[in-house]
Chain A
Amino acid sequence: MSDFSALDVGLSGLEAQQIGMDTVGQNVANANTPGYDAEEVDLGAIGSVQYAGYEGAQSLPGDGVAIEGISRLTNSYLTAQSYIQQAAQGALGAQQAGLQAVQQEFPEPAGNGISSQLTQFWQAWSSLANNPSDSSAQSTVVQDGATVASSLNQTVTALASVSGQTVQQISTTVASVNQQVAQVASLNQQILQGNAGASAAGNGDVDSLEDQRDQLVSQLSNELGVSVSDNQDGTVNVYSGTEPMVSGVNYQTLSLSSSGPPYSLVWSNDGTSYQPSSGSLSGMLDVVNSYVPGYQQQLDQVAQSLMGSVNYLMSQGYDQAGNPGQPFFLGTGANDIAVNPALVANPADIGANAAPVAAGSTASNEDGTIAAEVGELANSQTATLAVPTGGWPAGGSAAAWAGATQTTGPEADQAYNQLVTGIGQATASVNSQLSDQQTVTANVNSALQSATGVNTDQELTNMVMYQNAYDASAKFISTVDSVLQSLISMVNG
């Protein structure tokens, strides 16, 4: 070791501490940057070189310090956990949004929802029974029936629009997933290039690219459950289910199946369909494939119970002139249930009475027994339902009701009660699951932040250490300098 090499050792110390300080600066500056992983300088001592033939070589102190690299703090276990929990939360969040939108269409139990309209409808029948030939009682029955029918129409339309909006949201989310996947692949490409040049230029830039990539994958995990595997060359593969979305610099996109329900996602590589099991996309698909169609079907059952039970009794009745009763409602389900237009035009033709007038009598029939029975439907659990000839799809024509068959089914109020309670239960259950899941996700993310984020106290401690070491190295250089000065002045003297 020459006297001059001591200056190099001092210099390497100055440089190393300088890089250390820079890293502290970078970390502190990014203490609140989302997705930023704290960096640390990897320092290594440079060993001494043994020169052949150098006499008296015993053990030498080495040639200073080398900066071996700057690495990011990572925790692959917590990162994977974070992706899983975020995906679970995404799914529940999307389900909650859908269910709340559905629930808003059912202003129960306090509002003027279908249940109170049904009650009013039954009351109107009972009032008609009190005065079967009263034209205002007759039109009230027709009007209240039309109110219930149009509420059923509107509610089922509103459900369809919840579904439509969710489908649109799925398309938007799929588009943003595709964009994110493309960005991940492009970051992989840049990282690959950065690593290739790393030996010459250092890999400081690659760290920030990796942070960006992690951030993107984390966003992806909200939308679509993902798992990540690292490749040797610094790139990552991203999978959803078992399908690779990103492999190295290549990626594939997703699209939404054109028709449904059931809707599904389709992979661009091989055109296979995919039902994600977590992430907001899975939650939204649940809403459009399962929740909404189920509720639509139940609402159809409510409409069919209503039509079937009232029309059955109508088929037993006679109007005030003694003509057989006509079907009160026409329709195939909740979407098109309506009061029979013939009765809207002539409410007096409602078959409210149990017996026709005696032959030859000019009296109008006013026993009202059938109207009273319709009014009493509200108190039954089940009812006799008429089913139109040719099944429900034929229920739109009055003729199909003429030869209707009979079955027994839940009464309309009961069917509706079940529907609303079911929606309430599903929403309440998703609400409570989501609130639990939010705590879990927050805990995992906080743990991940703790493991990989910036602790400013730690950074400032490092800063003090680097500062002291820098001062010491500088002092060392100035000491060596003065030693050399002494030597030179001695030679000159």
Chain B
Amino acid sequence: MSDFSRVTQASAGLQMVNDLQLDLLNLTNLQEEAASGKSLNQPSDNPAGTSQVLSLNSQIGSFQQYSTNAGDGISWLSTATSALSSVTTSLDQVQSDVLSGANASASDADSLQALSTNVGAIKQTLLGLAATTYNNRYVFSGTYGIEPYPQGEASGVSDPTSASYNPAVAYAYAGSSTPVTRVIGPGQTVNVSTTGAQVFGSGSSSIFALLDTISTDLANGNTSALSGSDLTQLQAAMNQVTQATGELGAVTDTVEQAQTAANNQVTALQDQVGNISDASEDQVATELDLAQTSYQAALETTAHIIQPSLAEFLQ
């Protein structure tokens, strides 16, 4: 056989089939991209992108959780704040009772008794407010899961008219002095609670003991005490509550800002994930179009090239 470079019909066929296969594979990949809308369907599509997306997704999870934590913190804070605002209202009423009592004459025994009863009722209201819960947790007990003044509502020790009256036991603060915290950002932890000890005090120096004293002083018509130490101490207690409310308000602002920041961060990170893993629709559509055209062209060429043979021209 001669030495010229030889080509056979079968080898030409093999080459064309191979070319068609490559075109078809390309077409199939692009179709998958277009159908799923993702250019990153499995790790091998883009290993470096996969690594980024995994770590971005993990960050998104963290920031979503920060947002959840902040939301929970905000609810906690608003429960505590609204309880404190009721406390303030109640204390305002006590103050007006004290002022009425201080200015009353001794003959007004009935009305003084009524004021005294009223203050006693307010004490019970305050004890109820101190035991405010959010999500089954006492918001003024710090990190302890226990009612802050468990003995306060018991009769006897908390009844100033009783012989066994013992404010040190009745109003002993049973919670912890450690405030409750929320993680609201990377390395960002805030105290979302103020403890009962800070707001209401503990034992004999608590607001409840003070109200017992006021109640007794009202019943006894002890006007000098009422206009003197009772009023002073009451105002100090009111300041304490106002200050706690202000602190909680400031914390609420911080937590709300942190929540907004976390939500923004989630959106930004999701955009980044989208940039890496989403297929650009325009690009895919164009490439798909090109691939289809090239595949069709290859098919037509193959159909035309393989047909002619010397056999057609031999008679």
Known: A106-B43, A417-B55. A446 touches B144 (CB 8 A): no
> Contacts A130-B72, A375-B183 hold; do A367 and B178 have CB atoms under 8 A apart?
yes
Cβ B143 vs Cβ A366 within 8 A: yes
Known contacts A109-B53, A123-B64, A367-B143; is-contact A449 B47 (Cβ 8 Å)? no
B294 CB–A CB distance under 8 Å: no
Fill in one digit per residue for B15-26: 1 if any A CB lies within 8 Å of its CB, else 0.
100100010000
Q: A73-B1, A369-B181 are in contact. Are A428 and B9 (CB under 8 A)?
A: no
A466 CB to nearest B CB, Å: 13
- Indicate if A115 sits at the interface (CB-CB under 8 A): yes
A413 within 8 A of B: yes
Decide: B144 and A372 in contact? CB cutoff 8 A.
Answer: no
- Contact across chains for B43 and A379 when beta carbons are under 8 A apart: no
Interface membership of B65, Cβ < 8 A: yes
Q: Which residues of A contact B135 (CB under 8 A)?
A: 131, 134
A98 to B141, CA, bound (A): 59
Shortest Cβ distance from residue B6 to the other chain A in the assembled complex, whole angstroms: 5
Of B6, B50, B143, B277, which contacts A353 at CB under 8 A? B143
Whether the pair B310, A457 counts as a contact (CB closer than 8 A) is yes
Cβ contact of A115, chosen from B7, B22, B54, B310, cutoff 8 A: B54
User: Quick check: B277 and A109 within 8 Å, CB to CB?
Assistant: yes
Q: Are A424 and B44 in contact (CB-based, < 8 A)?
A: yes
Cα distance, A363 to B18, chains bound together (Å): 76
**In the complex, chain A residues whose CB is within 8 Å of the CB of B136:** 131, 133-134
Contact between B68 and A123, CB atoms less than 8 A apart: yes
A256–B174 Cα distance when bound, in Å, is 73
Which A347-383 residues sit within 8 Å CB-CB of chain B?
Answer: 353, 355, 357-358, 361-369, 372, 375-376, 378-379
Within 8 Å of chain B (Cβ to Cβ): is A468? no
Contacts of B189 in A (CB 8 A): 372
Contact A460 B47 (CB under 8 A): no
A123's partner among B5, B14, B40, B65 (CB-CB below 8 A) is B65
**Complex formed: what's the CA distance from A358 to B182 in Å?**
22
The reply to whether B9 and A109 contact each other, CB–CB distance below 8 Å, is no
B47 to chain A, nearest CB (A): 4
In chain B between 45 and 100, which residues have their CB closer than 8 angstroms to a CB of chain A?
Answer: 45-48, 50-51, 53-55, 57-62, 64-65, 68-69, 72-73
Looking at A120, A122, A446, A457, the one whose CB has the most chain B CB atoms below 10 A away is A446
The answer to whether A449 touches B61, judged by C-beta atoms less than 8 angstroms apart, is: no
Chain A residues near B183 (CB, 8 Å)?
126, 129, 372, 375-376
Q: Which of A109, A353, A431 is within 8 Å of B57, CB to CB? A: A109
Contact in complex: B143, A365 (CB < 8 Å):
yes
- Quick one: CB contact mask for B168-180 with A, threshold 8 Å, 1 for yes? 0000001110101
Interface residues on B, range: 35 or more
Q: Which residues of A contact B48 (CB under 8 A)?
A: 421
B307 CB to closest chain A CB, in angstroms?
12
Majority DSSP secondary structure for residues of A touching B: helix
Interface pair B9/A456, CB less than 8 Å apart: yes
Q: How far is the CB of B308 from chain A (nearest CB, A)?
A: 10
Question: Does B129 have its Cβ within 8 Å of any Cβ on chain A?
Answer: no
User: Does A451 interact with chain B (Cβ within 8 Å)?
Assistant: yes
B309 and A110 contact, CB distance less than 8 A = no
Selected contact of A116 from candidates B46, B55, B57, B69, CB within 8 Å: B57
CB distance from A443 to the nearest CB of B (A): 8
Residues from 383 to 433 in A contacting B, C-beta threshold 8 Å: 413, 416-418, 420-421, 423-425, 427-428, 431
Indicate if the CB atoms of B137 and A131 lie closer than 8 Å: yes
| A366 partner, pick from B5, B50, B55, B145, beta carbons under 8 A | B145
Q: How far is the CB of B314 from chain A (nearest CB, A)?
A: 6
Q: Is the CB of A103 within 8 A of B44?
A: yes
Inter-chain contact A103/B57, CB cutoff 8 Å: no
A443 to B7, CA, bound (A): 12
Structural contact, A320 and B61, CB atoms closer than 8 A: no
Selected from A116, A118, A130, the residue in CB contact (under 8 A) with B182 is A130
B309 touches A457 (CB 8 A): yes
> With A353-B143, A453-B11, A455-B9 as given contacts, are A127 and B47 in contact (CB-CB < 8 Å)?
no
Q: Nearest Cβ in chain A — how far from B250, in angstroms?
A: 21
Which residues from B are CB-within-8-Å of A442?
A: 14-15, 18
Tell me whether B163 is interfacial, beta carbon within 8 Å: no
Query: With the chains together, A51 CA to B61 CA distance in Å?
Result: 106
14 contacts between A and B (CB under 8 A): A31-B8, A109-B43, A110-B277, A118-B58, A123-B61, A131-B72, A131-B137, A363-B146, A368-B143, A368-B181, A372-B181, A421-B54, A431-B44, A446-B14
8 closest Cβ pairs, A-B complex:
A424-B43, A119-B61, A427-B44, A363-B146, A363-B144, A424-B47, A449-B11, A364-B145
